[in-house]
Amino acid sequence: MEENRPLILISNDDSIDAPGILRLVDCCPENADVIVVAPEVQQSGKSSAITVGAPLRISAKPDYRGARIFTVSGTPVDCIKMAFHAIVPRRPDLVLAGINHGSNSGCNVIYSGTMGAVTEGCNQGITSCGFSLLQHSLEADFTMCMPFVREIIAKLLANPLPDGVCLNVNIPARVTPLGVRTCRAARGYWTEEYRKYLDPSGNPFFLLTGRFVNHEKDATDTDEYWLDNKYIAIVPVNVDYTDRDYIKPLGEYFDL
């Protein structure tokens, strides 16, 4: 760890056991120091959840290609917060998350633990970016996207993002991407969300399932559109969720 080298902090939501996080380390430039702080266990769907009132523990793991590896017994946001509090030796230049096994396009950004980590990095004032491959399997093949990921990381290191904006990068699976496109998240939601079961006593329980329905199938400026067309879709995400255009109309709504 040398003071004058860029420092990259990496997390994810699939846990330290997911191959995607090591592929992200592989995409970092050789002149950078890399520290991985990942959840001990699977944290998919944890959004920006934080652990309140329960203890968090840090464990050091063996290095990987010069990167130092730690796990935290919490959520992706816990990982970033704990990293800042107790692990990183200096302020990181970049916070990255992924490469996620599965999509975080459309409204999935809301539930994504990957993007929870990214949002947290951004809120701490660091240029932050999440990467997700549209292939859920742990055997997902990252080779075709890695040159693009490498290039995006190099760009982010050279040119910090504006304060309050982070990136959600989604990558088509099983193809060499045709390029990258910047766009907005498609509106849509999940449907047929639960399957019902009966336990041995005859009491019902439910497991999450369902499929994502894109409500904007005809739009040509969304992440879903570009992913369908084999491009990497990059959506800028603002960590201030205020709808600024609606503040004034809302004042009229309340007769103020």
61-120 positions binding a second copy, by CB under 8 A: 75, 77, 81-82, 84-86, 107, 109-111, 116, 119
Least distance in Å: CB of 63 to a second copy?
Answer: 21
Q: Does 240 bind a second copy (CB under 8 A)?
A: yes
Q: How many residues bind a second copy (CB under 8 A)?
A: 74
| Residue among 4 and 159 whose Cβ is closer to a second copy | 159
* Residue 121 in tokens: 């990095």
DSSP three-state, residue 125: coil
Burial (0-12, 13-18, 19+ Cβ within 10 Å), 50: middle
What's the distance, CA 251 to chain centroid? 35
Tokens 């067309």 locate to 229
| Residue among 29 and 45 whose Cβ is closer to a second copy | 45
Neighbours of 245 (CB within 10 A): 8
Q: Does 160 bind a second copy (CB under 8 A)?
A: no
Cβ atoms 153, 115 nearer than 8 A? no
Of residues 167-186, those binding a second copy (CB under 8 A): 167, 180-185
Q: Does 242 bind a second copy (CB under 8 A)?
A: yes
Sign of the alpha-carbon torsion through 229, 241, 246, 108: positive
Q: Does 53 bind a second copy (CB under 8 A)?
A: yes
Of the candidate spans 4-12, 61-69, 88-96, 244-252, the one that interacts with a second copy by CB under 8 A turns out to be 244-252
Residues constituting the chain: 256
Per CB under 8 A, the list member of 62, 200, 202, 204 interacting with a second copy is 204
Least distance in Å: CB of 28 to a second copy?
Answer: 19
* Residue 59 in tokens: 């464990």
Kindly report the backbone phi and psi dihedral angles of residue 100, in degrees, each rounded to the nearest multiple of 5, phi listed first.
Answer: -70, 140
| Residue among 10 and 234 whose Cβ is closer to a second copy | 234
Per CB under 8 A, the list member of 141, 176, 194, 217 interacting with a second copy is 194
